[in-house]
Amino acid sequence: MDTNAVVKPPSMRLLYALLACSIASIVIAVTMLAVTLTVYRVREPVMTMNSISLKDLGAAGPPGGLALVPSSSPRLTVVADVSVKNPNAASLRYGPTETSVYYGAQRVGEAAGPPGTARARRTVRLNVTVDVAVGALLGDPGFLGDVAAGAVAVTTATRVRGRVAVLGGVVHRRVVLEMNCTATIAIADMSIRNQSCLQRVWLQ
């Protein structure tokens, strides 16, 4: 073996090739990071209360009385029509929808809707039906006073819990949506008036 052999330095062409590969790797890494932080960033879903309506009011009340307090079936049904918009690049999977109806601080009805999936960048519509036991309110002087005055104020609270996973589950966030609405039931025609809603979103 010739110990006096001279080791030749790498050629400039090889150095340029190695430098080009390094720059390309950096560009790809930066591009992937930018895509992850923009396209695949988990965004807050948006819940909208499209309408609150009444149905299945039961039998008519006494002559000259009020349909809100039927004599033979003291119940009414509140239907909450809710939309959930998913702005993410991945599906939003959610569990049972929880909806409660309140008169003042008293919860007078609750129901759960089925679980489901809001596809990427799509809006899903949910209808939740809540049976309200009017009979439980008949002993409340405030309720009877509101009925006599011609309007009853109620509050609905709808909550949706879900999960968004992107990049094959590498990035995932839990989502809690809550929509609280206040509305007034006009006794004369049993219509919903003066509806206002407030949405809150938690990403965990």
As averages over each run of 10 residues, the pLDDT of the chain (204 residues) reads 55 71 69 54 86 68 43 70 89 91 90 91 90 80 88 92 75 87 87 89 84
Pairing of the two strands 122-133 and 116-118:
unpaired
- What is the per-residue pLDDT for 193? 85
Instruction: Tell me what pLDDT residue 156 has.
Output: 92
Give the pLDDT of residue 179: 92
Give CA angle at 45 (127, 162), nearest 5°. Answer: 70
CATH architecture observed for domain 46-203 = Sandwich (2.60)
Neighbours of 130 (CB within 10 A): 21
pLDDT of residue 69: 47
Going by C-alpha positions, the residue among 199, 155, 182 that lies closest to residue 48 is: 199
The per-residue pLDDT for 65 is: 41
Q: Quick one: pLDDT at residue 20? A: 72
Predicted model pTM: 0.70
Quote the pLDDT of residue 34: 52
Q: What is the pLDDT of residue 1?
A: 53
Q: What is the pLDDT of residue 172?
A: 75
CA distance 89 to 39: 7
Cα gap 20→105, rounded to integer Å: 68
> If we measure between CA atoms, which residue out of 155, 163, 162, 134 comes closest to residue 66?
134
Domain ranges in the chain? 46-203
